[in-house]
Amino acid sequence: MTADGRAPVSPREVCFLIGGEGQVLWSDAGPSPVALPDSRARWEAIWARRGELVEIAHSHPIGPHAFSQEDRTTMAALDAALGRRLRFSVVSPSGVVVRDAEGNETTTARDPAEPAWVGELRRRSGIKE
């Protein structure tokens, strides 16, 4: 059991669609800590929530603390499909990497002031606190 009494979760990539007030609009999970295969359900969720969607976040539960090349091509495809740039985040054991809507990337270490969804994404991904 974890410190909060929950059963531990096996590491796996998880995706959150985030709204303008930091709320999780939708989520899904991949089968492993290194894969989050494309899914029709995810694309449909993105399209259905495109008006309120401001950020797409996913986890790299065993690293890297960076966007992968696949992440970068997916971000470009999503921006093109939506006709605007979103904010994208990768949550890893060591912190968060963000590409903002202007294309700037920042990397931060774990921070107690992170949005609540970051801790929830870590928990669902099996990232140890």
In a domain, 4, yes or no: no
Tens of pLDDT along the chain (129 residues)?
455 566 667 999 999 999 999 999 999 999 999 989 999 999 999 999 999 999 999 999 999 999 999 999 999 999 999 999 999 999 999 999 999 999 999 999 988 889 999 999 999 999 987
Strands, E assignment, 22-129: 24-29, 53-59, 87-92, 95-99, 105-109
Residue 71 belongs to what domain range? 14-125
In a domain, 7, yes or no: no
Q: Shortest CA distance to 100 belongs to which of 84, 119, 112, 113?
A: 84
Number of domains in the chain: 1
Residues facing residue 97 across a β-bridge: 90, 107
Supply the pTM of this predicted model. Answer: 0.91
- What residue has token string 């912190």? 95
In a domain, 5, yes or no: no
